[in-house]
Structure 1
Amino acid sequence: MEEVDKILIHALRQSGTEVAEDIQSVKQFTSELIVEAVVRCVRVINPALGGGLSPSLPPGMSARFRVGMGLAQACQDLGYKGEMGYQTFLYSNEPEIRSLLMFLVEKLPRESAEASDQPAGKSVVLQRAISAKIKAQLALPWLPHNCRLPLLCKTQSVGTSQSLRTQPLSLPYSNKSTGRAPPKALRDYQRDVVLPVTAQPPHQGALVASLLEQHTAELSAAQEWDSEWNSQGLLSRLTPEEYRSRKAARLQKRIQEQLRSAPGTPSPGSGGAGSGGAGSDLTQLLLSFQGSGPGDRLLPKGTHFTHTQKFTFTQDPGLLVEQMAAVASSMPLGGQSEGELRARQQVELGELEEQLQQVALGTERLSDRMKQMNLSVAQVTHELKEREQGNQEKEDSLQVKRQTVELLPDAHNNLAKLQTLVEASAKRLVSLAAQWEKHRDPLIQEHRRLKELCTNQDVESSRQLSEIKDLHEKIRETAEKAKKKESVYKQLISELENLPKDVSRSAYTLRILEIVGNIKKQKEEITKILSDTKELQKEINNLTGKLDRTFAVTDELVFKDAKKDESVRKSYKYLAALHENCNQLIQTIEDTGTILREIRDLEEQIETESGNKTVANLERILEDYKAVREENSALASKVREG
Structure 2
Amino acid sequence: MFKKVACTVPGNHRHLPYSAAFPTLRPAVLTENSEQTQERRWTGGGEEVDGGCKEREVAEDVDSVKQFSSELIVEAVVRCLRVIDPPLGNGLSPTLPPGMSARFRLGMSLAQACQDLGYKGEIGYQTFLYSSEPEIRSLLMFLVEKLPRASAEASDQPAGKSALLQKAISAQVRAQLALPWVPPTCRLPLLCRTQSTGMSGIFRSQALSLPYSKGLGKPPVKEVSDYYRDFLLPVTAQPSQYASVPASLLERHALDLSAAQEWENEWNSQGLLTRLSPEGYRSRKRARLQKRIEEQLRAAAQPHPNSPHGPHSGPDLAEMLHSFGGATTGGTVLAKGTRFTHTEKFTFTQEPETSAQQMAAAASVMPSSRQSEEDLLAQQQDELQALQDQLKQLSIRMEEVGGDMKQLSVSIAQVSDELKQRELSNGEKEDSVRVKKQTIDLLPDAENNLAKLQTLVESSAKRVISLASQWEKHRAPLIEECRRLKELCSNRELESSRKLFEIKDLHDKIRQSADEAKKKEGLYKQLITEFENLPKDVSRCAYTQRILEIVGNIRKQKEEITKILSDTKELQKEINSLTGKLDRTFAVTDELVFKDAKKDESVRKSYKYLAALHENCTQLIQTIEDTGTIMREIRDLEEQIETENGKKTVSNLERILEDYKAIRQENSALAAKVREA
TM-score w.r.t. the length of structure 1 is 0.45
